[in-house]
Amino acid sequence: MKRFVVGVDGSESSRRALEWAVQQAALEDAAVEAVHAWHVPYVASGMGGMPFDLQMLADGARATLDTIVDSVDASSLSSPIERTVVEGPAARVLLDAASGADLAVVGSRGHGGFMGLLLGSVSQQVASHSTCPVVIIPADVEEQDPA
- Residue from 95, 80, 72 nearest 12 by CA: 72
Q: Where would I find the H helices in the chain?
A: 12-28, 42-45, 54-70, 90-98, 121-129, 141-144
Residue 57, Cβ density class (10 Å: 0-12 exposed, 13-18 middle, ≥19 buried) = middle
pLDDT at 49: 54
Q: Can you give the pLDDT at residue 116?
A: 41
Per-residue pLDDT 10s for the chain (147 aa) are 999 999 999 999 999 999 999 999 999 999 999 999 998 876 555 556 566 788 888 999 999 999 999 999 999 999 999 999 999 999 999 999 999 999 999 998 755 554 444 456 899 999 999 999 999 998 764 444 444
Instruction: Give the chain's length.
Output: 147
Give the Cα separation of 110 and 119 in Å (integer): 9
State residue 13's pLDDT score: 92
- The conformational region for residue 10 under phi > 0 = left, psi -120 to 50 = alpha, else beta, is left
Q: Is the CB of residue 29 less than 8 Å from the CB of residue 1?
A: yes
Distance, CA of 110 to chain centre = 8
Sorted by where each starts, the structural domains of the chain and their CATH numbers stand as: 3-142 (3.40.50.620)
